[in-house]
Structure 1
Amino acid sequence: MARLSLLPLSILSAGLAMLAAALPQAASAQSRTYAVQGDCGGRPRLEVGMAPGYCMGRVWQRTGSEGPRMPRTLFRLADDDWLVADLGSWDAGRGAIWRMRVGADGTVGWTRLLGGLSMPHTMARGPDGRIYVAEMSRIFVLDPERPNATTAVVSDLPDNRLHENRHPLSAFVFEADGALLVNVGAPSDRCVDGRGRPNRDARGQCAERAEQAMVRRYAYLGNGRWSPEWTPYATGLRNSVAMVRHRSGAVYQGENSVDLNTPERPFDEINRLKSGADYGWPYCTDMATALPGWTAAEARCGRRLSPVSLLPPHAAPLAMLYYDGAMFPELRGRMLMTWHGHRRAAGRIAAIEVDAEGAPLTDRPARYAIYPRGSMPYPADAPAPRAKVLTPGWNAVRGTRPQGSPVGMAVAGDGAIWVADDRAAAVLRIARD
């Protein structure tokens, strides 16, 4: 069984110090502004390299004080009327929900419906037709016409403040029977102490797993009410911000794997979530690789439910949906994913072919593209997604574009794909070229 290794702590510390010193200079040198040239379906066209037949237009990018600081997810109310979840920052109480109205001439107007939220993220329509929003420690009902009259339906999620707990974002999907499947991220990267040694309990296992690093299930009681008691649905999951339910009923998750100090390992994952299954955090990653600090015997990789597909290392999948629009019939039914990470394989939107249950079709062997050019191999015996990358040229180019940081997606009434880029504070639109 393979093992991953780390650099010596002294070398890693020196490298981090150099990186920290260089950050202000890099930030000033690299603009987050998108240059535009030409037209993309009635929107200013961005100079982003797209797959043939596609273009990306700018709906809005923040230049002053109006609008969201970190737009993360989109929810369509009507063709020209949207909700946007604004993370605000990685500090509690600075998030907001905005209403975005797009005029016939392309102008964008903003109304802040709710402020003072803690890292709001997922927005979805529930089995009762109402709109539900997840912030750090609760899920609540939002009526856009009466935004101050919020009602919490789940209020016992951990208060996972960043730097105290590692993964603060809540996310959810509804099962076919209305039950809520809710992400509770792992409290650390990989369950180690300050010296890089496993944080073991008395049984020799990770001491951090009791109520986190899992997807919880809250049973639906009907009439917009959920049970206050939850059960573990799927465990051993580091961070399930990206989840989607296929019309067949199958639920899939995009796993953000641990942050080792190498760009080529570990691979991120697509998992099919099954009740009672364990997916290996913090012991295993990839198909059967023991993480540093845990022996092969401790990791017990053979007992976990393996991924249905790997993803490029550090891709950081943050959103998944099945495309059902009219503009791109060649994409209909495919799983769209945003790869948000800042490393060389990320900054992409992929359209993955799937089977009748929504599972990715895969290839062996396979390669994934990296920026600025070239490709890298997946493990020879590992499943890799059969995908069309819609944004093959979204790397940073000075004066032209930043590297893409796509988060949430939504399909408009005309079938265009709308995307939030949180680092550039932009709302973008993929249309037929």
Structure 2
Amino acid sequence: MDLTYSPAERAFQTDVRDFLAENLPPALSQKVNARRELTKDDMERWHAILNARGWLAGPWPKAFGGQGWGPIEQHIFEEECCLAGAPRIVPFGLKMLGPVLMKFGTPEQQATYLPRILDGTDWWCQGYSEPGAGSDLASLKTRAERDGDDYVINGQKTWTTLGQHANRIFCLVRTKADGKPQEGISFVLVDLDTPGIEMRPIRLIEGGHEVNEVFFTDVRVPVTNRVGAENEGWTIAKFLLGHERTNIAGVGFSVQALEQVKQLAGKVMRGGQPLIQNTLFAARLARIEAELEAMKITNLRMLARAAQGDRLGAEPSMLKIKGTEIRQAINDLARRALGPAAAPFPSEDLDGNLPIAPEGHAYDAASYFNNRKISIYGGSNEIQRNILAKGMMQR
């Protein structure tokens, strides 16, 4: 298996680098590299820049407005964006709902929603998790009862990421109560302006507003907004989660974050020498770097297989586990490097009684706390290990 880029892939990598150098606004990259919270305008600005180049939905087929990128091109693009400090593409419409509509949607749904995802008319959020149904998603209780040409939805969704910016939500709802839990779920598209919907913010431990809870009270949604057949939403849910879990691995994010930790450790002084020369710290850094290199190779192996048309099965779960563990380990290492300056407050909020973090690292503690979530969402890492064990037993 060839793990090196072909001449065409290297040329594409150069094109991406040149594009980022010329078009990525410095103010955006500075904000990303400092791990500051991006505004809706920040994210929409970057989406518009990419869309003008035709790269916002690069993996989409050309018939739907994409470039038809394969797995290798997609990996190159995402890694180069991470290394350049570009904002992450908001995935809910582009990487989750878009592929679902292309595979399961009607021609009318595709014609209606896909162009609106690309031009930014619609901002989608995900209505999967509930207070009693997270990793055990099949336990969801939100009901959708048929009433003529409508579904009437009642229930609650939680941890709805960036829902405060969204105008639409795709939801898993229960349309049948008897039988196996997975057999009574449907996938529906909901306009958030529909009467009966209330969205409330959830404040995170570092004070940020990234997630929300959504309440549905007698919300009427046309049956034509259902994607796929009634009671067959679990198939769509598994398809969508496969896309989400691969993206969660975040190889590019880890490469960029580890480089920032190295630079920080070269500046911070402990015991009269740079921290990077401390034996214990250097050993921790080396271990993470070795694990990251191993994950990069594994990722390339899987990409090469996917490019050849192989079905990956449970392998994305392995990437999700290792990728999230490595990102959390890097966050922890940055916190150790900062020491007392890692107090969970940005430097401009301090009153002078605590050490101030070096420039570009004032939000490292907030990132540490926020990223405790990444080994939980998209199916907790414990669930991913169950998927891997089941896959091995079936071989």
Structures share fold, TM-score greater than 0.5: no
Give 1 or 2: higher helix fraction.
2
Q: Could you say which structure has the larger radius of gyration?
A: 2
